[in-house]
């Protein structure tokens, strides 16, 4: 098999390996996170622990994908929105609050993956949290 560009080759590899490729911001997730920050629903633990698969599954079963999607800053538009593979960059550890350490982790991973819009969105959220705390 011959590929005409690196992008075509990369997409073929990612598809065949079933690897997430977050390629767009999730406006619903960004809006929800900003709303939680505005209302003070923020955790500031010393370490970051993302939700376990069991926690995700329990939340999904109780609330469905529409509510589940609110907890992620990015999406993979190539994946079915009714699958967990569609969502990336989770910013909560408990499906109740914004986790500041989660936002820091998102910025680091987004920078590594050239996800500038997600990097910027998480940075603005951290700034809002810090301003509210120091304001």
40 is a domain residue: yes
| pLDDT of 8 strictly over 90 | no
Domain for residue 16, yes or no? no
- Does 15 map to a domain? no
Q: What is the DSSP letter of 90?
A: E
Q: Give the residue among 27, 47, 63 at the shortest CA–CA distance from 100.
A: 47
DSSP reduced 3-state for 79: coil
> d(Cα 78, Cα 26) in Å, to the nearest integer?
14
Question: What does the pLDDT average to over 91-98?
Answer: 97
**Residues of the domain holding 91:** 25-134
Residues 6+ apart with CB under 8 A from 10: none
What number of other Cβ atoms are within 10 A of residue 22's Cβ?
23
- Asked if the structure places residue 18 within a domain, the reply is no
Which whole-number Å values give the CA distances from 13 to 20, 23, 78, in the listed order? 11, 16, 14
End-to-end alpha-carbon separation of the chain, Å?
A: 59
Token readout for 54 is: 């069991």
Question: pLDDT tens across 25-53, in order?
Answer: 999 999 999 999 999 999 998 888 999 99
**Is pLDDT at 15 greater than 60 in this prediction?**
no
pTM of the predicted model as reported, rounded to 2 decimal places: 0.83
Does 14 reside within a domain?
no
Per the structure, the count of domains in the chain is 1
């Amino acid at each position: 098999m011959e590929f005409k560009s690196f992008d075509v080759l990369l997409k073929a590899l990612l598809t065949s390996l079933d690897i997430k490729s977050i390629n767009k911001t999730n406006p619903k997730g960004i809006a929800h996170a900003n709303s939680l920050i505005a209302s003070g629903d923020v955790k500031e633990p010393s370490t970051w622990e993302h939700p376990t698969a069991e926690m995700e599954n329990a939340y999904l079963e109780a609330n469905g994908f529409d509510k589940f999607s609110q907890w992620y800053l990015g999406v993979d538009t190539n994946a079915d929105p009714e699958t967990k593979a569609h969502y990336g960059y989770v910013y909560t550890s408990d499906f109740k609050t914004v986790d500041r350490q989660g936002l820091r982790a998102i910025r680091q991973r987004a920078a590594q993956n050239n996800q500038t819009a997600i990097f910027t969105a998480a940075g603005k959220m951290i700034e809002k949290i810090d301003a509210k705390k120091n304001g």
